[in-house]
């Protein structure tokens, strides 16, 4: 039986151990995320519960147009930089675990269903490269030579069920489906003439439908991943109704498809409009006039609201729409250079990067009150670890 | 600031002064805006470091042999059939000319970040 003094000594010792081991002891990563600071080539690790930065990490190279995916244990993030850099970061220690420069010019990446393979899409040399998610050792290369033989830039790379990766060839106008169950020898199925100048692609939350946005024509390219043998087809064709498209001062992005029930919300290219598509038949249900050329269209996780940001000169605005009535619920003016929006996993808050204010603003999604404004150096992409468990992210 | 960056900056400022003397009618505050536009807005497609992205690289090497007049016209009127948009709503002829010089002599590249 320990004496009172021994008890005291014991609890003091316990307190000391906790203090030395970094105060908090073991913790999860489910409420952590990354904020890309593109001008300085650095990344912040943020805590979305405390709404604070917990680490800032340098040494990522050129992070213009950077994006990230997460390991299935949500401990590691893989950051894809413009300069071809692929960097594996440990969210818990706030350290770079491994970094390679795998190409001359890259645009994004994906992680396989089983979490074992990281794929990167490259502009230069055009194609996709596969890496071991643990060691970042190279596994395979898929050069993107279109049907005409010319090398193409690759966009819209996502993962799909069955350890597959899907991506689009910008110059060739093709969609390719790579089965990476044997990641050293991926089997590629190619779909040609799928639409001119696909600028990005995404997959529905269930991983069934791959959708590529087209810049070169009015419409979207669609591939049913349950029935790839049926081929790709064009949907929502001619949404411009033959009129001259408006200039696009920044390309729209299809980061993660915005959905509410059977409705999908897609940015129009060259129109200041949001396309509302019926996911049951892929027909246009409605279109909503917007404040400018939409860039990101993201749905709150419950689908009730859709948030949209814009290309210059309207990049100081976020328009929030009601997914049912399609009315504008609120127009926010977070500041100049709104680059990205990311909802917390269950959507009670939305984090918005405001480049020229050097801030990430956190909004309450019910009241639109600003909950926090966190300093960040020219922030661009915001990526939360909940992406680890979503298909296509 | 690292000494290398400082020297690079001085060189860039020197080159900029030469540019200024040549195309002297873009006032310095507007030059700051134009440089910001070049990095951030042109940079969305051509890369923040102007080494290319969905759009081609805009480095002096990549632009070698192209006439300043045709480059100016591309900036102002865009290139049909490509995503290159006409920037004439935001730029005067003189400003587009200043950007072209800035790109061709490499000072834009030195600034881009």
Q: Dump pLDDT digits (tens) for A123-155.
A: 999 999 999 999 999 999 999 999 999 999 999
A211-232: average pLDDT:
96
**What is the Cα–Cα distance from A83 to A64, expressed in whole angstroms?**
8
A44-70: average pLDDT:
95
B43 touches chain A (CB under 8 A): yes
* A219 contacts: CB under 8 Å, gap ≥ 6: A195, A234, A235, A236, A237, A238, A239
A23-27, A267-271, A301-305, A385-389: segment of lowest average pLDDT:
A23-27
Is residue A344 in a domain? Answer: no
pLDDT score for A12 = 47
Please indicate, yes or no, whether residues A169 and A204 belong to a single structural domain of this protein.
yes
**What is the Cα–Cα distance from B105 to B113, expressed in whole angstroms?**
17
Kindly list the residues from chain A whose CB atom is less than 8 angstroms away from the CB atom of residue B47: 62, 64-65, 82, 105
Please indicate, yes or no, whether residues A236 and A316 belong to a single structural domain of this protein.
no
pLDDT band with cut points at 50, 70 and 90 for residue A380: very high
**What is the Cα–Cα distance from A303 to A321, expressed in whole angstroms?**
11
322-351 in chain A: CB under 8 A from chain B: 337
Could you list the residue range(s) of the whole structural domain that residue A121 is in? 102-248
Kindly state the tokens that stand for A57.
């990490």
Is residue A310 in a domain? Answer: yes
ipTM over 0.95: no
A217-226: average pLDDT:
96
pLDDT score for A25 = 82
Ramachandran class of A23: left when φ > 0, alpha when ψ lies in -120 to 50, beta otherwise: left
**How near does any CA of chain B get to the CA of A146, in Å?**
17
Kindly list the residues from chain B whose CB atom is less than 8 angstroms away from the CB atom of residue A313: 90
pLDDT score for B24 = 63
Please indicate, yes or no, whether residues A226 and A255 belong to a single structural domain of this protein.
no
pLDDT band with cut points at 50, 70 and 90 for residue A239: confident
Choose from B36, B45, B53 for mutation: most chain A CBs within 10 A: B53
Is residue A78 in a domain? Answer: no
Contact A220, A213 (CB under 8 A): yes
Say how many domains are in chain A: 2
Q: Dump pLDDT digits (tens) for A312-327.
A: 999 999 999 999 999 9
Please indicate, yes or no, whether residues A122 and A237 belong to a single structural domain of this protein.
yes
Is residue A219 in a domain? Answer: yes
**How near does any CA of chain A get to the CA of B36, in Å?**
10
Please indicate, yes or no, whether residues A211 and A279 belong to a single structural domain of this protein.
no
Kindly state the tokens that stand for A91.
């969210």
Q: Which residue of B has its CA nearest to A250?
A: B44
Please indicate, yes or no, whether residues A273 and A242 belong to a single structural domain of this protein.
no
Asked whether the beta carbons of residue A197 and residue B83 sit closer than 8 angstroms, the reply is yes
Asked whether the beta carbons of residue B54 and residue A199 sit closer than 8 angstroms, the reply is yes
A106-110: average pLDDT:
95
Residues of chain B scoring pLDDT < 70? 1-24, 110-113
pLDDT score for B11 = 44
pLDDT score for B15 = 44
Asked whether the beta carbons of residue B54 and residue A153 sit closer than 8 angstroms, the reply is yes
pLDDT score for A11 = 52
pLDDT score for B3 = 40
**How near does any CA of chain A get to the CA of B40, in Å?**
9
Please indicate, yes or no, whether residues A144 and A244 belong to a single structural domain of this protein.
yes
Is residue A320 in a domain? Answer: yes
Asked whether the beta carbons of residue A62 and residue B41 sit closer than 8 angstroms, the reply is no
Is residue A385 in a domain? Answer: no
**Residue A250 C-alpha from the chain's centroid:** 17
Is residue A206 in a domain? Answer: yes
Asked whether the beta carbons of residue A355 and residue B48 sit closer than 8 angstroms, the reply is no
Please indicate, yes or no, whether residues A286 and A162 belong to a single structural domain of this protein.
no
pLDDT score for A24 = 63
pLDDT score for B25 = 87
Looking at the predicted structure, is the pLDDT value of residue A333 above 80?
A: yes
**What is the Cα–Cα distance from B14 to B110, expressed in whole angstroms?**
12
Kindly list the residues from chain A whose CB atom is less than 8 angstroms away from the CB atom of residue B2: none
Asked whether the beta carbons of residue A105 and residue B113 sit closer than 8 angstroms, the reply is no
CATH of the domain at A139: 2.130.10.10
Asked whether the beta carbons of residue A64 and residue B51 sit closer than 8 angstroms, the reply is no
Please indicate, yes or no, whether residues A111 and A235 belong to a single structural domain of this protein.
yes
Please indicate, yes or no, whether residues A181 and A233 belong to a single structural domain of this protein.
yes
Asked whether the beta carbons of residue B54 and residue A155 sit closer than 8 angstroms, the reply is yes
pLDDT score for A9 = 55
Asked whether the beta carbons of residue A248 and residue B52 sit closer than 8 angstroms, the reply is no
Q: Dump pLDDT digits (tens) for A62-89.
A: 888 899 999 999 999 999 999 999 999 9
Q: Which of A284, A305, A333 is the last residue of a domain?
A: A333
Contact A39, A53 (CB under 8 A): no
Q: Which of A333, A359, A380 is the last residue of a domain?
A: A333
Is residue A266 in a domain? Answer: yes
Q: Which of A285, A311, A333 is the last residue of a domain?
A: A333
**What is the Cα–Cα distance from A180 to B106, expressed in whole angstroms?**
43
Looking at the predicted structure, is the pLDDT value of residue A373 above 90?
A: yes
**How near does any CA of chain A get to the CA of B99, in Å?**
17
Please indicate, yes or no, whether residues A321 and A269 belong to a single structural domain of this protein.
yes
Please indicate, yes or no, whether residues A242 and A290 belong to a single structural domain of this protein.
no
CATH code at B3-111: 1.10.760.10
Q: Dump pLDDT digits (tens) for A149-195.
A: 999 999 999 999 999 999 999 999 999 999 999 999 999 999 999 99
């Amino acid at each position: 039986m320990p004496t009172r003094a021994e008890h005291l000594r014991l609890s003091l010792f316990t307190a000391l151990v906790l203090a030395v081991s970094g105060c908090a002891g073991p913790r999860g990563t489910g409420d952590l995320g990354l904020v890309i600071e593109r001008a300085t080539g650095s990344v912040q690790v943020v805590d979305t519960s405390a709404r604070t930065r917990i680490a800032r990490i340098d040494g990522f190279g050129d992070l213009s147009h950077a994006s990230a995916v997460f390991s299935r244990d949500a401990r590691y993030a893989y950051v894809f930089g413009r300069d071809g850099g692929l960097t594996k970061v440990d969210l818990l220690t706030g350290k770079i675990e491994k970094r390679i420069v795998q190409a001359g010019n890259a645009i994004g990446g994906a992680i396989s269903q089983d979490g074992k393979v990281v794929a990167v899409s490259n502009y230069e040399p055009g194609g996709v490269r596969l890496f071991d998610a643990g060691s970042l050792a190279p596994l395979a290369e898929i050069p993107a030579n279109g049907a005409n033989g010319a090398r193409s830039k690759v966009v819209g790379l996502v993962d799909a069920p069955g350890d597959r990766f899907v991506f689009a060839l910008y110059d060739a106008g093709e969609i390719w489906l790579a089965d990476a169950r044997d990641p050293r020898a991926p089997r590629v199925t190619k779909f040609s003439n799928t639409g001119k100048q696909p600028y990005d692609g995404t997959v529905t939350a269930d991983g069934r439908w791959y959708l590529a946005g087209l810049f070169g024509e009015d419409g979207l390219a669609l591939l049913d991943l349950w029935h790839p043998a049926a081929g790709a087809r064009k949907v929502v064709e001619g949404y411009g109704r033959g009129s001259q498209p408006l200039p696009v001062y920044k390309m729209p992005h299809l980061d993660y498809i915005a959905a509410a029930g059977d409705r999908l919300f897609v940015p129009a290219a060259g129109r200041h409009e949001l396309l509302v598509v019926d996911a049951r038949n892929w027909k246009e249900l409605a279109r909503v006039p917007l404040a400018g050329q939409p860039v990101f269209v993201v749905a709150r996780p419950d689908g009730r609201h859709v948030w949209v940001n814009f290309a210059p000169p309207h990049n100081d605005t976020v328009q929030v729409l009601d997914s049912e009535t399609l009315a504008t619920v609120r127009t926010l003016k977070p500041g100049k250079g709104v680059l990205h929006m990311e909802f917390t996993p269950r959507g009670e808050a939305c984090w918005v990067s405001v480049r020229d204010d050097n801030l990430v603003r956190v909004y309450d999604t019910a009241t639109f009150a600003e909950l926090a404004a966190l300093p960040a150096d020219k922030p661009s992409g915001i990526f939360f670890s909940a992406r680890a468990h979503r298909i296509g992210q | 600031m690292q000494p290398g960056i400082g020297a690079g900056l001085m060189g860039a400022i020197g080159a900029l002064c030469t540019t200024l003397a040549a195309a002297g009618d873009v006032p310095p505050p507007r030059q700051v805006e134009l440089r910001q536009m070049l990095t951030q807005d042109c940079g969305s497609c051509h890369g923040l470091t102007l080494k290319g992205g969905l759009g081609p690289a805009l480095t002096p090497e990549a632009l070698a042999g192209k006439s300043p007049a045709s480059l100016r016209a591309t900036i102002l009127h865009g290139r049909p059939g490509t995503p290159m948009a006409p920037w004439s709503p935001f730029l005067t002829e003189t400003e587009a000319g200043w950007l072209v010089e800035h790109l061709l002599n490499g000072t834009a590249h030195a600034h881009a970040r």
